[in-house]
Amino acid sequence: MEKEKGKKILFPQIKGILHGGDYNPEQWLDRPDILEEDIRLMKKAGMNSASLGIFSWSAYEPREGEYHFQWLTDCIDRLYENGIYTVLATPSGAKPAWLDENYLEALRVDSYGVRYHHGARHNHCMSSPVYRDKVRNIVTRLHEAVGEHPGVILWHISNEFGGECYCPLCVKRFQDYLAEKFDGDIDKLNHAWWTPFWSHQYNGFDQIEPPYQNGEFSIMGLKLEWRRFTTWSMTDYMKFEINLLKELTPDRPVTTNFMQLYEGLDYREMAKHLDVISWDSYPCLHNDYESFASTMAHNAFHHAVMRGMKRDKPFMLMESAPGLVNWHQYNKLKRPGVHRLFSLQALACGSDTVQYFQWRKSRGSYEQYHGAVVDHLGTGDTRIFREVAGLGEELKRLESVAGSLVQAQTAMIVDWDVMWALGDMRGLCDETKRYADTCAAIYETMLRLGVDVDVISQMDDFTGYRVLVAPMLYLLKPGVAQRLRAFVEKGGELLATYLTGYVDENTLCYLGGFPGDGLSSLFGVVSEEIDTLYPTDQNGVCFAEGVLQESDSLREEQVRDYAERLRVSDADILGRYTSDFYAGEPAVTERVQGEGHACYVGCRLSMTGMRALFARMFKRAGIHMRQLPEGVECHVRAGEDRQYEFYLNMTDRETALSDVQGENLLTGEMLQGTLNLEPYGAAVIVSKL
Ligand code: GAL
């Protein structure tokens, strides 16, 4: 199949999908036989890439100023000769012992103010000038050794940035950051943080401490700003590495690997400085608390989070476990066929790579029992290896998918600021707030209607979407309420829920009624009170005739956890509470504004109820819904003149779909009607647009 024009190819050197993973030859330098065997096995597994150097600092520079790069040069050469490209990491994710021994300030300080000892990884201070000097030096040397090698296609910065530092350098930077943010005016900060409460007014920026565990925990604005600062500081550190790399190799793209909705860092701020988004996906598969299909749908949600950060190009699945991991509470094997299905899901959601942690199991230390393509047995004759090699063959058939994009017309707003502010606010019930889980469940509900959904920020552009869903949009940044109104006026369908618009960007409550900043007039409601339900509490919503058109049995739906009492000023009441002292009061409303509709769901409604509301919105917005058998996911990627429909059977039962037309790229079969899917089976159907 010829290449389509105008597609967003990430790596022109790679034909089609990149297939690779973390590779640690530095652990085997005394075993040249193993390194030679690795090349043979990588080719057998259909790998065209390997990620090198992620934790190699002490192999490069075992003593300060003593450098060993020959092993790396040899390795990149050998890989390249065999058609395997290198993703090259900067080694800053873990420090050699000599560095911590000689430069104490490079070690982090924890939230009690205690400095860490040498050990583990990800423990450097983001502000330390010494650490930056040492990193600058080793990265420059790395570049001198292999930086211009034609086999190197991407810089992988550090590894999974995370954590925070409370050292004196970071505290000082925090104070400077605040002074800049509040224009050097401490009264502005005192007002924004409502510090007269408990007599917490500050006289100057130099009095402000971070929220130590044994210190200030009661100012919501401080806690939020500390999290923003940590993102700012980590991004500043990351930019230092990026700037250095861009000076050395201006044309080579850079990435760093993210971890789903990791709470510690607002990835969207970091994403602005990266050329391509990549992430590490390790869901707890085959667990005992939800269906496999749900776990996978939540994984698709996280793919959508990544896709949403750069919607104009594919992203990368930088790490996944070919077998099991070693750090879930229970480490269960991936069932036969699941590796393929899992990898195809990444592609379906917009990734152009399938990569693993790790190529070969380490013999000792912390991750010696973590799954790998090649395990301690050391051969290609294992179930895992065969599954990886089988996938490698299939990925070649999916070459033309590379560069095509998921083009969703529905978006869900999910924000770190909201996650942080909701998590910190005192009230409700900490166990049931569950912001990220709630968003994932809502995403799954829309997915079950056969609709692809992007996950975006409240600051992103809403144009191009027809439906916007904003679960628990507790914190509003300036201008967002106005943009939501404009979206609806121009014909958009908007759905918001309980806990919308309670606070501004500094966590000050809106006065005059929630949802604030003018949203109560958009929805035509004011939320007067919110009730927190115990797990044993029962309530429900009874919907008016004809609202939930899917079936009559959907007229009454369950409510859990949260229920707001709404005062309706100007909206249609779609459903009313069935129990408690607010029985009969409005629970779900809708209002016409301009060409569109603004729907407010004042309670945590059952997902069957939400599904019916979404179906109603999609229908009105003209969004095509696909009828899917239970547990089957469908995602669509489009190139310039072809589209690729991915059907993924997330169950261990056979199933079938009707009305499928086109060529199944995985089998070469032409379909004109029924598509049969085996247990954990998948199909990729290509058709002309
Ligand atoms: C990732 C990390 C890898 C490896 C892996 C194990 O978070 O980047 O280096 O530790 O987890 O699952």
DSSP assignment of 544-557 equals PTTTSTT-GGGGEE
For residue 622, the tally of other CB atoms under 10 A from its CB is 8
**pLDDT band for position 552 (50/70/90)?**
low
Which atom in ligand 1 lies closest to the alpha carbon of residue 55? 9
What was the pLDDT predicted at 624? 96
Q: How far apart are CA 688 and CA 639, in angstroms?
A: 10
* CA 282 to ligand 1: nearest atom: 12
Q: Tokens in use for 550?
A: 């899917």
Helix H segments across 103-202? Answer: 129-142, 168-181, 186-192
Listed in order, strand segments (DSSP E) in 190-312 are 254-255, 257-258, 278-281
Q: In angstroms, what is the span from residue 504 Cα to ligand 1's centroid?
A: 36
Query: What is the pTM (predicted TM-score) of this model?
Result: 0.97
Q: Which two tokens stand for residue 183?
A: 């224009």
Within a 10 A sphere around the Cβ of 419, how many other Cβ atoms? Answer: 21
User: Residues with catalytic annotation?
Assistant: 160, 319
DSSP label at residue 546:
T
Q: Which atom of ligand 1 is nearest to the CA of 159?
A: 8
Average pLDDT over residues 301-327: 97
- 155's enclosing H/E stretch is strand 152-156
Residue-wise pLDDT for 663-681, tens only, equals 999 999 999 999 999 999 9
Ligand 1 pocket mutation, candidates 281, 367, 373, criterion most atoms within 8 A of CB:
367
> Contact, 401 vs 503, CB < 8 A?
no
pLDDT at 6: 57
Ligand 1 center–CA 65 separation, angstroms: 29
Question: Which residues approach ligand 1 with their CB closer than 6 A?
Answer: 159-160, 280, 282, 319, 325, 357, 367, 370
Supply the DSSP string of 107-121, one letter for each residue: B-B-TTSPBPPS-SS
The beta strand positions in 498-595, using DSSP E, are 525-532, 539-543, 556-568, 572-577, 586-593
Cα–Cα nearest to 96, from 126, 68, 55:
55
Backbone angles phi, psi at 263, to 5 degrees: -70, -25
Angle CA 473–478–484, to nearest 5: 55
Question: What number does the ligand 1 atom closest to the CA of 326 have?
Answer: 12
Contact (CB, 8 A) for 462 and 572: no
| Residue nearest atom 11 in ligand 1 by C-alpha distance | 357
Q: Given a cut of 80, is residue 402 above it in pLDDT?
A: yes
User: What is the spatial distance between Cα 135 and Cα 12, in angstroms, rounded to a whole number?
Assistant: 29
- Nearest alpha-carbon partner for 315 in 285, 348, 339, 282: 348
What pLDDT does 1 receive?
Answer: 35
Tell me the CA–centroid distance for residue 357 and ligand 1, in Å: 6
Nearest residue (CA) to ligand 1, atom 12: 325
| Element holding 75 (H helix, E strand) | helix 70-81
Taking the C-alpha atoms of residue 575 and residue 422, their distance in angstroms, rounded to an integer, is 26
Q: Which two tokens stand for residue 484?
A: 């939501």
Local confidence band at 7 (pLDDT 50, 70, 90 cut-offs) = confident
Distance of CA 100 from the midpoint of ligand 1 (Å): 22
Q: What tens digit of pLDDT does each residue of 214-241 get?
A: 999 999 999 999 999 999 999 999 999 9
CA of 287 to the centre of ligand 1 (A): 20
Strand ranges inside 370-513, DSSP E:
405-406, 410-413, 453-456, 467-470, 493-497
Alpha-carbon distance of 47 to 25, in angstroms, equals 16
Taking the CA atoms of the chain, what radius of gyration do you get in angstroms? Answer: 26
Query: Is 544 strand, coil or helix?
Result: coil
Is residue 134's pLDDT more than 50?
A: yes
Mean pLDDT of 631-649: 96
pLDDT given for residue 2 in this prediction: 39
Mean pLDDT, range 382-399, rounded to an integer: 98
Query: Contact 563/585 with Cβ under 8 angstroms?
Result: no
> Where residue 550 falls among pLDDT bands split at 50, 70, 90?
low
Report the pLDDT averaged over residues 36-61.
98
Q: Which two tokens stand for residue 641?
A: 């003149």
CB burial class (10 A; 0-12, 13-18, 19+) of residue 483?
middle
